Structure 1
Amino acid sequence: MSLIYKIGIAVVLMLLSRPGFASQCDSDSQLAQVQSYFNAIDKIFRSGSTVEDIDNFLSLTHEKVQYVHTEYSANFNKKTWREAFLRQLNKGSYQNKEDNQARILNSIIGKNHAAIEYSYGMIQKDGSWKSGTAYFALFGFTDGKISLIKEYW
């Protein structure tokens, strides 16, 4: 291996190991993670969803994730959030169909946070998507993963 190649690898490894660099989550990554969040939660909300769907959804989040819903006084960590999903799954609450879909309407990306306006809507017979009520949530990111979801509706 050439000396230049070894030096290049060493520089990259040093940069990746810096706490400030490793904990940053760039805007493209943030938006992609939020979209993955909504895709995964859509899957949970569908009829026939499974415990595996819940676990796959939660795998997108940081170990110390916090879900807060201000209107409903919800404040979950990863464990209690999973338990809440399981209660709803066992009650048969998730009955959406394939044409139910959440979409991001607007976003403002900041340092390790994203303000997201989104809506749960329906895909119409002509393929268009019809928006429902618009909602607002703040997403936080730690170590490149979603660590905060704070709903404001």
Structure 2
Amino acid sequence: MKYIWIIGLILAGLVSSKATLASDCDATCQLAQINSYFSALDKVSLKNSTINDIDSLLALTHDDVKYIHVEYEANFTKDTWRKAFIRNLDRGAYQNSVKNEIHVLNSIFGKNYTAIEYSHGVIQPDGTWQQTEPLLVVFGFTNGKISLIKELW
């Protein structure tokens, strides 16, 4: 009987720690991380961005992050994604100005996943933001960090 009680305590502790782990990044936390991700991505896209900007973006993600872009058949680990960013940087692909911004338009929260409708856009002379076409991405979270970015456009 004593062993059953001890096993019960161990299981209760595991369930409690797992619940804490899963809930350590609620919808508010997830949206904050997603907005930080898009802000960092905007910095990478700027003319004269640097490898430090790329590393700052990737630092926001889990060590085992996966970046998947369905249309372009991209399937990157953190290391291969970093190399792809650096290739784009080296070939001069990033030419945006500070007037280019990504905005989140809508979000749907699931268990450790968030679907985001977002758009690239440009700040107009009157200060308004003019969006381009809306896009869809799903973010996954592990241990409170972004562990999946799956672009569905």
Q: Deviations over 1:95-141 (max 9, x none)?
A: 00000000000000111110000000000011000010110000000
- Listed as ranges, the gaps of 5+ residues in structure 1 are 1-13
Counterparts of 1:59 and 1:23, CA distance in 2: 20
Cα distance in structure 2, aligned partners of 1:67 and 1:102: 18
Distance of 1:82 and 1:23 partners within structure 2: 27
SS for the counterpart of 2:95 is: coil
Amino acid at match of 1:111: K
What is the aligned partner in structure 2 of residue 80 from structure 1? 80
Aligned length: 139
What is aligned with 1:99?
A: 99
Give the whole-Å Cα distance in 1 for the aligned partners of 2:50 and 2:128: 28
Q: Match for 2:109: what amino acid? A: I
Query: 1 CA distance for matches of 2:30 and 2:69?
Result: 20
Mapped partners of 2:59, 2:152: distance in 1 = 23
Letter in 2 for 1:27: A
> Separation in 1 of the partners of 2:146 and 2:51?
20
Query: Is 1:23 paired with 2:37?
Result: no
- Distance in 2 of aligned mates of 1:72 and 1:79: 18
1:46 & 1:101 partners in 2: Cα distance? 10
The alignment-based identity, stated in percent, is 54
How far apart in 1 are the matches of 2:54 and 2:19?
31
Residue 23 of structure 1: how far off its partner (Å): 3.4
Quick one: distance in 1 between partners of 2:31 and 2:71?
A: 24
Aligned to 1:5: none
Q: TM-score, normalised by structure 2?
A: 0.88
* Partner Cα separation in structure 1 for residue 22 and residue 113 of structure 2: 12
Ranges of 4+ aligned residues in structure 1 off by more than 2 Å = none
Q: CA deviation at 1:22?
A: 1.8
Q: Separation in 2 of the partners of 1:19 and 1:129? A: 41
What secondary structure, in the 3-state scheme, does the structure 2 residue paired with 1:107 have? Answer: strand
Structure 1 residue 21: Cα displacement: 1.0
Q: Which runs of 5+ in 2 are unaligned?
A: 1-12
Q: Secondary structure at the match of 1:133?
A: coil
Q: Distance in 1 between matches of 2:80 and 2:22?
A: 25
For 2:9, the equivalent position in structure 1 comes to: none
How well do the aligned residues superpose, as a CA RMSD in angstroms? 1.4
Partner AA of 2:20 in structure 1? F
